[in-house]
Structures are given as structure tokens and as C-alpha cells.
Amino acid sequence: MSTALPKIAWIGLGIMGSPMAENLIKAGYQVTGYTLEQDKLDRLAKNGGTAASSIAEAVKGAEVIITMVPASPQVEAVAYGEAGILANAKSGALLIDMSSITPQTSIDLAKNAKEKGIRVLDAPVSGGEAGAIEAVLSIMVGGEQADFDEAKPILEALGKTIILCGPHGSGQTVKAANQLIVAVNIQACAEAVVFLEKSGVDLKAALEVLNGGLAGSTVLTRKKDNFLNRDFRPGFRIDLHHKDMGIVTDAARTVGAALPVGAVVAQLVASLRAQGDGGLDHSALLRAVERLSGQSVQA
């Protein structure tokens, strides 16, 4: 019985995808990658991976294919068509889609892939750029138990909390809930920051003590410095969180779940994006609260 690690094709080398692919290389996997930006391909090659010139070249001979792209349209673009994954991957390959997309897109992908003899897991992640770099992501998975068991060693090189949540689409449903919680949490933190500053309290001291009690959270731990320094370089862009809030509000409507607070925060995210801040980190929700509170916002 061979103990050789499976050959991996990685499609999508953005803020999350690049460090994740590099962590697999560090773990000993042979990774061939494809993305649209040449500088990202150069980075992969510099870090020990192999750059491919097309999806077909990347997936040729790969036993595992991982996709990490922005949204459902991009997943469909890389999966389908003559130049896509399903048309070029070998039968028996395992496709792990780690993008955050609609549950229905994942269900449809699994069904279409099965006709080609390709197995699929939806495996979106939470933890942002820092979690990707540190390989401590939370990974929520949908699909078959046997496929999950096969994928788990690979996923363990990328994250710390790795859970099979149910059949195809379940990982995406849990990710949608995750994005709801994160957005509401960031909004609450942003409102607290403005309230504290307007009250003349030492913000750094206040956030430190708050994070040590029941108000503490991973969100506050990760984003505290963003708030303090008004540093909104993107770890997870408002544009993407806007997409995710659309997914969760639509999915909730479908199943009849009320999201009264989530709906308000979804509108605040949309408003921030409309004001030109879509490319900033989602901690930039602070900018929206500052505007509503009559504070000047840094350019």
C-alpha cells in the first residue's frame, strides 16, 4: 500500500488561497496551482509549488483539487466548461471547494461532479488571513463521511477545528451562520469603540479589559489592533462579507428563519460598500459608525 502523499491542484491564490497552498507545501504535499494573477503564480513557485498556465494543466493527474475563489460565479466558472475542472480532472479525484458560496451551488456541483466520477466536499473556512497564515482555520465541511476521512489529513495542514457538518451544502450553511455572527460581532465592537472614544475613555485599556470578560471574542482579539490603529488593510474585504450576508439572508428566508439583527447589519455592510469602502477589511464597519456619529473618517 502506497503511503505517498496525494498530488494536489490548487485553484485560486488570493489573500486566503496563497498562504493555505503554502502551508500544504510546508506539510510535504506537491502542489500545482493556477490563478489569474501572474504575481501570485510567481509567489507559489518561489515557495516550492508549481505554477500552471491553465486549469486543465493544474488538475492533470491530480488526486485532490482544491478551489478557493471569491463566490458562486467563480466556482462555476472554474468547475464547468471545456476548460474547467470537471472536464479535465481524472475520474476518482476529490474536489474540495473551500470558497464561501451558496449551499445550492455546492449541492449542484456535487451532483454534476458525480456524473464525471469526481467526488466533492464543500469546505469553507473561518479565520481570515491570519488564520490562513497560521494554519488555524476553522473548516466546516459538507459531503460524504468517507471523502471527509480521506481529506482530513490535508485539511489538518490548514486548520485546527475541522468538522463534518452533514451532507453536501451543509458546510456552506454553517459558514453562512458564521458570517452572520462575525458581522454582528464586528458591528457591536465598532459601536463600542465609538461610544468609548466619545466618552473619553482610554480605548486600548477598555478593549483589553472587555476582551477578558464575557464580551471577549475571537473577533475582538483579531480586530482590536485594526480598531486602535484604524488599519483597514484587507484581511477579509467588505465586498466579500457583503456577498456572504446576501447568502445568509437569502438562505434564512428560504427556510423561514428570522434574522432581525442580521438584516440590519447586512444593510450596514451594503451601505459601507456603497460609500466606496468595499475593498477594505470588514473591521472598517467602524468607519460607518463614525460617520453616523458625526466623527471625521480618515481618507
Mean per-residue pLDDT for 126-152?
96
**Amino acid letter for position 16:** M
Q: What is the DSSP string of 84-140?
A: SHHHHSPTT-EEEE-S---HHHHHHHHHHHHTTT-EEEE--EESHHHHHHHT-EEEE
Contacts of residue 6, defined as CB under 8 A and 6 or more positions apart, other chains included, come to 29, 62, 63, 64, 154
pLDDT > 90? residue 299: no
Mean per-residue pLDDT for 127-151?
96
**The C-alpha cell that represents 21 in the structure block:** 497552498
**Domain 8-167 = CATH 3.40.50.720:** yes
Mean per-residue pLDDT for 240-260?
96
Of 120-124, 153-157, 243-247, 293-297, where does mean pLDDT reach its minimum? 293-297
pLDDT > 90? residue 174: yes
**Amino acid letter for position 179:** Q
Domain borders along the chain are 8-167, 173-292
What band does 298 get if pLDDT is binned at 50, 70 and 90?
Answer: confident
Q: Which of 40, 175, 223, 224 is catalytic?
A: 175
Q: How far is CA 120 from the centre of its chain?
A: 18
Task: Look at the chain and count its residues.
Answer: 299
Percent of the chain at pLDDT exceeding 90: 96
pLDDT > 90? residue 260: yes
Cβ-contact 179, 241 below 8 angstroms: yes
pLDDT at position 281, please?
A: 96
Kind plus residue range of the DSSP H or E element containing 8: strand 8-11
pLDDT at position 3, please?
A: 65
Quote the DSSP letter at residue 5. Answer: P
- According to CATH, the topology of domain 173-292 is N-(1-d-carboxylethyl)-l-norvaline Dehydrogenase; domain 2 (1.10.1040)
Interval 200-214: pLDDT, tens:
999 999 999 999 999
| CA 15 – CA 280 distance, rounded (Å) | 13
pLDDT at position 2, please?
A: 46
| CA 271 – CA 86 distance, rounded (Å) | 38
Mean per-residue pLDDT for 69-79?
97
Q: Among this protein's residues, is 175 annotated catalytic?
A: yes
**Amino acid letter for position 236:** F
pLDDT at position 157, please?
A: 98
| CA 94 – CA 117 distance, rounded (Å) | 9
